Amino acid sequence: MLKVVDRFLKYVKFDTKSDETTGKTPSTPGQLILGKALVEELESMGMKQVTIDENGYVMAELPSNIDKNIPVIGFIAHMDTSPDMSGKDVNPKFVENYDGKDIILNEENKVVLSPKDFPELKEYIGKTLITTDGTTLLGADDKAGIAEIITSLEYLIEHPEIKHGTIKIAFTPDEEIGEGADHFNVEKFGADFAYTIDGGKIGELEYENFNAAGVKVFIKGRNIHPGYAEGKMINSMTIAMEFLSKLPEDEVPEKTKDYEGFYHLMSIKGEVEETSMQFIIRDFDRDNFENRKREIKEIGNELNKKYGLDLITVEVKDQYYNMKEKIDPVKNIVDIAFKAMEEVGVKPIVHPIRGGTDGARLSFMGLPTPNIFTGGENFHGKHEYIPTFAMEKAVEVILKIVDLYVEM
């Protein structure tokens, strides 16, 4: 099992931070560099049908070694890391036999990983943790997933006595900017269903996620010298604040949990003459989701009527939908993952994803794809860490899933 840790440490050295502004796939060159390195590794292991396409999608196959006709299983992870923080020059640190106290990640910058802020650390007393050095994210989201999938497949190749059906794997670019499924060729992949290995703490098993939309609001103003502005100036920033005041103040990420949806203001840029705002809308319930989209458009219409001018333009674009709708008819794939965790000594934690994965969109593209843990915590920032035993358990879960389908 040391191999899964060694692989992870190797992969995090690749700078694969994605960038939604480039308009390219993959959005950054480092993802393609990692993809090509993974192709070489998969070929050297003995995987078949190993490919990387012009958009950086890596796919490979481990052919069945049984005569029995069973479903073709897929395992998927993503190569990019979050744009929220640098993924360059990642310098992982090991904390062995964690004692439950504060971990100094970076003494110079006074960056501390503390159970006061992250109480779940207490669950890992006595375990080995891999942390950041306090200057970058770690990259467990989702390079841990890649390492866990490849280590599992290598184990099967090295132990041909273990029976398995055909297994497909894929590594995608740009999941972190919502584009991981944009160019995913489901037909070429050829699986009946799949699992993304892209969850957080050990035991997570998810098959529900937000319905999601992105919103852009453009507000036009009229700039007049402030000394002569009475009855003439229209301050677009003031109207933006009025727009915001009409949204429910408690329906924001910092005040919601579980199945509660929200409106989230992502950015605002403004001057008197023009202001723009970007929101995301999230809700598990499809009807509530549609209502939220209507409501934010109606605020724009209401303010335009109030001022008697077409000052506000609201653009709403759906991003992904709740995969539960597509997975419920094949719920047995979740049940098998649940059983696999139990059989390797992992307590399943089934809860909704307050976000989305590649699997959400893939499920609507004809490939039902629930999500399984990687073992990482505090993704997307300098406090990210992963317990090594959780990575080892993820490998065991993948292997047990493969085994359970043979036993069906």
Taking only the tens place, the pLDDT of each residue in 56-88 is 999 999 999 999 999 999 999 999 999 999 999
In this prediction, residues 88-111 reach a mean pLDDT of 96
Give just the sign of the alpha carbon dihedral 131, 137, 138, 141.
positive
Q: How many Å apart are CA 149 and CA 151, to the nearest integer?
A: 6
Percent of the chain past pLDDT 70, that is, above it, reads 100
Percent of the chain past pLDDT 90, that is, above it, reads 97
Cα dihedral 15/389/387/57 (nearest 10): 30
Q: How many Å apart are CA 401 and CA 2, to the nearest integer?
A: 21
For 122-157, write each residue's pLDDT tens digit.
Answer: 999 999 999 999 999 999 999 999 999 999 999 999
Q: Is the peptide bond before 358 cis (omega within 30 degrees of 0)?
A: no
Question: Above 80 in pLDDT, residue 2?
Answer: no
pLDDT of residue 75: 98
In this prediction, residues 184-209 reach a mean pLDDT of 97
Q: Determine which one of 15, 41, 61, 80 is catalytic.
A: 80
Q: How many Å apart are CA 143 and CA 79, to the nearest integer?
A: 6
pLDDT of residue 1: 55
Which helix or strand (DSSP H or E) is residue 294 part of?
helix 286-307
For 303-353, write each residue's pLDDT tens digit.
Answer: 999 999 999 999 999 989 999 999 999 999 999 999 999 999 999 999 998
* Cβ-contact 277, 265 below 8 angstroms: yes
In this prediction, residues 381-388 reach a mean pLDDT of 97
Give just the sign of the alpha carbon dihedral 197, 59, 344, 128.
negative
How high is the mean pLDDT of the chain?
Answer: 96
- Structure tokens given for 105: 């990640």
pLDDT of residue 357: 82
Residue 318: active-site member:
no
Q: Determine which one of 142, 175, 176, 358 is catalytic.
A: 175
pLDDT of residue 391: 98
Cross-strand partners of 206: 371
Domains of the chain with CATH codes: 2-208+322-407 (3.40.630.10), 211-320 (3.30.70.360)
Question: Above 60 in pLDDT, residue 233?
Answer: yes
- Structure tokens given for 365: 């593209």
In this prediction, residues 186-195 reach a mean pLDDT of 98
Q: How many Å apart are CA 122 and CA 133, to the nearest integer?
A: 20
Give which of 396, 348, 386, 401 is closest to 144, Cα–Cα.
386
Residue 84: active-site member:
no
For the sheet with 274-283, list strands across it: 262-270, 274-283, 211-220, 312-320
Question: Above 70 in pLDDT, residue 362?
Answer: yes
Residue type, 81: T
pLDDT of residue 385: 98
Question: Above 90 in pLDDT, residue 178?
Answer: no
In this prediction, residues 204-212 reach a mean pLDDT of 96
Q: How many Å apart are CA 195 and CA 188, to the nearest integer?
A: 17
For 244-300, write each residue's pLDDT tens digit.
Answer: 999 999 999 999 999 999 999 999 999 999 999 999 999 999 999 999 999 999 999
Question: Above 60 in pLDDT, residue 25?
Answer: yes
For 111-125, write each residue's pLDDT tens digit.
Answer: 999 999 999 999 999
pLDDT of residue 152: 98
